[in-house]
Amino acid sequence: MNENDKIDNSNEIKLKWSFCPICGTKIPEVKKIKFCTKCGVDLIYINTHMRMPSRKNTRPLVSRASTTYRPYGFKPLRPLRKKFSQDELFNLKDEKLWGSSASIGITAAAFFLMNFVAVLAVFVYVFFSFNIATIDDILANPYFIIFSSFIELILFIVPLIYVGKYLKKSSLSNRLILLGFTVKGFSKKKIIKEILLGLGFAILGVFLVLGVSILMEVILTVIFGYEIVYGILGTSGEVDVLITSSDVLSIFWLVIIMILIIGTSEEVLFRGFLQKGLVRTLGKNWGIVVTALIFSSIHIIGIFLFPESLTSFLISFLLSFLPFFAISILLGLLYNWRKENLIAVMITHGIYNAITIIIAFLVFNSF
């Protein structure tokens, strides 16, 4: 029996530290502990000899996230991300998922990829038609907008691809469950409840945005004056151009697109992916607020391009940003309340968009 074995079997030796002198890991308060649970160094040897042990006096450790052995003295392996089974996907409240950088980065990548494809589609059409003058007509054509809306599916596809790395079995069903787009485990009664909640919050959203818009108009009118504010309000926007060029049939298809594609795709990206990640790194409140800030900024990005003046930019920004921010906060709170399931949230978003288009079309054709 050598000296180390005698030391190991002794019950009289008490360690001089509460933390490993090599890696700083807290030493468990258990009897006869010899090796550091993280770096594998021989604690009894250092405690007795006050010097580093040789390689032969260390124990190889197995990384919790890997089956690769690593003895003391080697650089610790970076822990692998946790992968979830299907059963675990329904209880992710306290589980760490993708971080803030991935949440924002993947969202930005999906948005820019979507716009790149949209611009490319217009470019290809113009190139083959050999008529640059038709660009304005193309962009104002409601049927072109209906067709191009399918490009928004990129917002759905990008996070769907990314989340596969967090799954033990990266099937389509599991990816959708992880993003909250599922009715698995829902009874018919519960599905109907989610649909009704979606409809109710969509109506609430219309009144919320209308109230915020009117309030901002009043405040800005007091600050800048009636003529300036309503001069900017009178400028035709994308929605105005779309409505003025639409007929009943195109409005019908736009409503379908808003419910089935726009509401679904945007909620998968912004709530199912972005908010889900940010809530786990920033906390519930900040996660919802930052998601709303990003959601609103992306929807009014055109305002930042070539502003006429600082005053017009500020008025246009506030009139557009705050209504988007308000509806996004509502959607974020609803998503949190529904325990990160997207069914009611997607219905709210899609129906809200549809109601907005229908009201604008009816108002335009009434005056």
pTM, 2 dp: 0.75
In this structure, the number of other CB atoms found within 10 A of the CB of residue 218 comes to: 11
Task: Supply the DSSP string of 6-39, one letter for each residue.
Answer: HHHH-SS---S-SB-TTT-PBPP--TT--B-TTT
Residue extents of the structural domains in the chain: 1-80, 87-366
pLDDT in tens, the chain (367 residues): 444 444 444 445 677 667 777 776 777 776 667 777 777 777 777 777 776 766 555 554 444 444 444 444 444 445 556 788 888 888 888 788 899 999 999 999 999 999 999 888 778 777 776 565 566 666 667 777 788 889 999 999 999 999 999 998 989 999 999 999 999 889 999 999 999 999 999 999 999 999 999 999 999 899 888 888 777 776 555 666 667 777 888 889 999 999 999 999 999 999 999 999 999 999 999 999 999 999 999 988 878 777 777 888 888 888 889 999 999 999 999 999 999 999 999 999 999 999 999 988 888 777 6
Beta carbons of 274 and 289 less than 8 angstroms apart: no
Q: One-letter amino acid identity for 335?
A: Y
* Residues 190, 195, 197, 198, CA torsion sign: positive
